[in-house]
DNA sequence: GTCAGTTAAAAAATCGATTATTTGATATAA
DNA sequence: TTATATCAAATAATCGATTTTTTAACTGAC
C-alpha cells in the first residue's frame, strides 16, 4: 500500500509569502508603513518576481494595502477595526464551535486533546515565542475544524491573523495569559462533553478576554 | 475648493485582475479547467508579469486554485460547496442587513431607491447581461452597506462572487427571475420601514430562492 | 498488456533589464 | 510667503529571456 504523502512542494513565491505573513502578523512591520520593495528583496534574499507575487497575495488576503502605482503599505491599526474584528470573531467562531461540537467525531476528540497538550507544554520563553504562536493558532483551528463549512473556516483564519496584529503589539502579560490558557482546557472539556451551550458561552468569554488584552495593547501602543 | 476626485488609476495588473474576475464569475472558464498561462497572455493581450500577479490575487481571493509548480486551476463546482456558500450567505447577509437597517441613514435610503430603480430599468436582454449583473451586485451591496463592519462586507462580497459561479451556470429563467426581482423592491420597502424582522425573513427567503435557482442549474449542468 | 525508466517538449517559476510613474528638491512667479 | 512648474532621483510596473520542473511520449523488461 502506497502512502500518498503530501509532498508540500514549495516555491520561492510561496516561501516568501508565508514568511511575510508571519512577519506582518507578528508586528515586524510598523502599521501604516510603506514597504520598500527593494529593501525587502535584499532583506529576505529573494527575487523581485516571487516577492511581488507574494505581496499581491497578501494584499488580496487583507494583510497589505495595494495602491496602483504606489506599491504596498501595511494597514493601519484602529480601534474601530479591532472592535470589528473581535465582533466578527465572536459571531463566526461561536457559530463554528457550536457546529463542530455537533459534528466532531472521536478522531476530533483525540486531536483536541493533543493540540491542547502541545500548547500547554510549549513554554512561553521569549525565544520560543513563534513556536507558541503556531501551536496556539493550531489549537484554535482544531476547535472549529469539523464545523462543516470550508468558507467559515477560511474567514475565521483570516480574522485570527488580523486579530493577532493587535494582540501581539506589546509584551506578554503572564497573569491574563494564565486565565486564557486555562480557558483552552475548559473549552476542550466542554467540547468533549458536547455541552454546546456552555461551550459557546465560554468561547464568547474567551474571545472577549482576548479582545480586552488586544485593546489594552493597542491603547498602550498608540 | 479643490475637488479631490478619486483618480482610479489602473495598471495592467489591476485591469487583467478585474477582467479575469468577471470572466471566472461569469462562467467563461470550465470548472476544474487548468489555465494555460500562455494562452491567457495571448487572449487578453497582456504581459506575463501582470497576468501572474492577477492570478495570484485571484487565488488568494478564492476564485482560483494555485498549486506550486503546476500553475492555476478553476475550482470545481460541488453540491456541498454550493450548500456551504448559500448557508454562509444566509447567516452573513442576514446579519448585515439587520445591522444596516439599524444604522442606515437618509442618504442610504436614497441610494437604496436609486439602486433598485437602476436595476429595474436594466432590461435583461442577452447583450446587456453583464450590465444587469453589475447593477444586481451593486444593489445587494447597497442593501448591506451601512452594516458597520468592513470585514462582514468583505466576506459577503466574496461569497456573492462564489455563489454567482453557480447561479450563472445556465440560461435565464424568466419566471423565477420575476419573483426575485419583485423581492428586490420588497426588500427596499421593508428597509425603509425599518421592519428589521420582516426584512430579515424576506432576505432569508430571497437567498433561499436564489439558492434553488443555482441548485437547479448546477444539477442541469452536471 | 502493464510497468518502470528515460527523455524531449511543454509549462511554471524566476531573473535581469527596461519602461513608466511618482516623489521630492529646487526654482520661479504671483 | 504661497503656489505652481520643472526636473532629477527613486520607485513601481512591466517586459523578454533563462532556469527549473512537470508532463507526456517513448522504450524495453517482465
Which structural domain range is residue B56 located in? 12-73
Residues 6 or more apart whose Cβ sits within 8 Å of residue B183: B202, B205, B206, B209
pLDDT score at B126: 65
Q: Are residue A23 and residue A89 in the same domain, yes or no?
A: no
Q: Are residue A69 and residue A85 in the same domain, yes or no?
A: no
Query: Per the domain annotation, does B6 fall within a domain?
Result: no
The pLDDT tens digits for A39-71 are 999 999 999 999 999 999 999 999 999 999 999
pLDDT score at B89: 98
Q: Are residue B148 and residue B174 in the same domain, yes or no?
A: yes
- How far apart CA B129 and CA B122 sit, in angstroms, is 9
- How far apart CA B27 and CA B143 sit, in angstroms, is 25
Query: Per the domain annotation, does B2 fall within a domain?
Result: no
Using alpha carbons, list the distances in angstroms from residue B192 to B148, B182, B187: 18, 16, 9
Identify whether the C-beta of residue B119 lies closer than 8 Å to the C-beta of residue B184: yes
Show which of A73, A96, A120 is a domain's final residue. Answer: A73
Helix axes B37-44, B48-61, angle to 10 degrees: 110
Please name the helix (run of DSSP H) or strand (run of DSSP E) that holds residue B156, with its range, or none.
helix B150-167
Per DSSP, chain A holds a count of helices (H) and strands (E) of 9, 2
State how many domains chain B has: 2
The share of chain A scoring above pLDDT 90, in percent, equals 86
Q: Are residue B58 and residue B85 in the same domain, yes or no?
A: no
Backbone angles phi and psi of B31, in degrees to 5: -60, 135
- Provide the Cα torsion A36, A42, A48, A52; round to 10°: -50
Distance between the alpha carbon (CA) of B6 and the C1' atom of D14, Å: 24
Query: Per the domain annotation, does A176 fall within a domain?
Result: yes
Query: Per the domain annotation, does A198 fall within a domain?
Result: yes
Show which of B33, B54, B73 is a domain's final residue. Answer: B73
Show which of B40, B73, B106 is a domain's final residue. Answer: B73
Q: Are residue B209 and residue B114 in the same domain, yes or no?
A: yes
- How far apart CA A98 and CA A152 sit, in angstroms, is 12
Q: Which of 72-111 (A) contact B at CB < 8 A?
A: 81, 84-85, 87-88, 91, 95
- How far apart CA B183 and CA A33 sit, in angstroms, is 46
Please name the helix (run of DSSP H) or strand (run of DSSP E) that holds residue A139, with its range, or none.
helix A129-144
Interval B67-85 mean pLDDT: 97
Backbone angles phi and psi of B203, in degrees to 5: -60, -45
Choice between A79 and A5, residue whose per-residue pLDDT is larger: A79
Query: Per the domain annotation, does B7 fall within a domain?
Result: no
Backbone angles phi and psi of A28, in degrees to 5: -75, -10
Label residues B142-168 b or e (16+ Cβ within 10 Å = b). bbbbbbbbebbbebbebbbbbbbbbbb
pLDDT score at A128: 80
Query: Per the domain annotation, does A7 fall within a domain?
Result: no
Interval A32-38 mean pLDDT: 96
pLDDT score at A2: 32
Identify whether the C-beta of residue B218 lies closer than 8 Å to the C-beta of residue B79: yes
Q: Are residue B138 and residue B115 in the same domain, yes or no?
A: yes
Residues 6 or more apart whose Cβ sits within 8 Å of residue A23: A29
The pLDDT tens digits for B158-171 are 999 999 999 999 88
Q: Are residue B165 and residue B200 in the same domain, yes or no?
A: yes
- How many C-beta atoms lie closer than 10 Å to residue A1's C-beta? 3
B9 touching chain A per CB within 8 A: yes
pLDDT score at B1: 33
Band (A147; pLDDT cuts 50, 70, 90): very high
CATH of the domain at B203: 1.20.120.530
Residues around strand C, C-beta < 7 Å: A 11-13, 46-50, 53, 69-70; B 9, 34-38, 48-49, 52, 66-72
User: In the complex, which nucleotide's C1' lies nearest to the CA atom of residue A67?
Assistant: D12
The pLDDT tens digits for A155-201 are 999 999 999 999 999 887 878 888 888 999 999 999 999 999 999 99
Whether B73 has a pLDDT exceeding 90, the answer reads yes
pLDDT score at A143: 98
| Probe site for chain B from A8, A18, A24, A53 (most B CB atoms < 10 A) | A53
Query: Per the domain annotation, does B188 fall within a domain?
Result: yes
Q: Are residue A44 and residue A141 in the same domain, yes or no?
A: no
A5 touching chain B per CB within 8 A: no
The pLDDT tens digits for B6-60 are 447 899 999 999 999 999 999 999 999 999 999 999 999 999 999 999 999 999 9
pLDDT score at A177: 85
> Chain-wide mean pLDDT for chain B?
94
The pLDDT tens digits for A106-115 are 999 999 999 9
pLDDT score at A169: 95
Sequence length of chain B is: 222
Q: Quick one: CA dihedral A40, B40, B154, A161, positive or negative? A: negative
Q: Which residue has the cell 494595502?
A: A65
Q: Are residue A155 and residue A194 in the same domain, yes or no?
A: yes
Q: Are residue A97 and residue A194 in the same domain, yes or no?
A: yes
CATH of the domain at B42: 1.10.10.10
Query: Per the domain annotation, does A66 fall within a domain?
Result: yes
Of B57, B151, B152, nearest to A57 by CB-CB distance is B57
Interval B85-104 mean pLDDT: 98
Identify whether the C-beta of residue B142 lies closer than 8 Å to the C-beta of residue B115: yes
Q: Are residue B108 and residue B196 in the same domain, yes or no?
A: yes
Rg, Å, chain B Cα set: 19
Please name the helix (run of DSSP H) or strand (run of DSSP E) that holds residue A185, with its range, or none.
helix A174-192
Choice between B112 and B181, residue whose per-residue pLDDT is larger: B112
Per DSSP, chain B holds a count of helices (H) and strands (E) of 9, 2
> Chain-wide mean pLDDT for chain A?
93
Q: Are residue A93 and residue A197 in the same domain, yes or no?
A: yes
Amino acid at each position: 500500500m502506497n502512502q500518498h504523502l503530501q509532498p508540500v512542494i514549495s516555491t520561492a513565491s510561496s516561501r516568501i509569502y508565508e514568511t511575510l505573513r508571519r512577519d506582518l502578523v507578528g508586528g515586524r512591520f510598523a502599521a501604516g508603513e510603506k514597504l520598500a520593495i527593494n529593501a525587502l528583496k535584499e532583506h529576505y534574499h529573494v527575487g523581485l518576481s516571487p516577492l511581488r507575487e507574494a505581496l499581491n497575495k497578501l494584499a488580496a488576503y487583507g494583510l497589505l494595502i495595494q495602491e496602483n502605482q504606489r506599491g504596498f503599505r501595511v494597514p493601519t491599526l484602529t480601534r474601530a477595526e479591532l472592535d470589528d474584528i473581535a465582533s466578527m470573531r465572536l459571531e463566526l467562531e461561536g457559530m463554528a464551535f457550536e457546529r463542530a461540537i455537533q459534528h466532531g467525531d472521536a478522531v476530533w476528540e483525540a486531536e483536541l486533546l493533543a493540540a491542547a497538550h502541545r500548547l500547554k507544554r510549549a513554554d512561553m520563553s521569549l525565544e520560543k515565542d513563534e513556536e507558541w504562536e503556531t501551536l496556539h493558532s493550531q489549537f484554535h483551528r482544531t476547535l472549529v475544524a469539523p464545523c462543516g463549512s470550508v468558507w467559515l473556516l477560511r474567514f475565521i483564519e483570516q480574522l485570527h491573523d488580523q486579530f493577532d496584529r493587535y494582540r501581539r503589539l506589546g509584551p506578554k502579560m503572564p497573569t491574563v495569559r494564565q486565565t486564557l490558557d486555562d480557558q483552552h482546557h475548559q473549552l476542550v472539556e466542554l467540547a468533549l462533553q458536547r455541552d454546546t451551550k456552555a461551550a459557546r458561552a465560554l468561547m464568547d468569554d474567551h474571545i472577549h478576554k482576548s479582545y480586552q488584552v488586544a485593546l489594552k495593547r493597542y491603547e498602550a501602543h498608540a
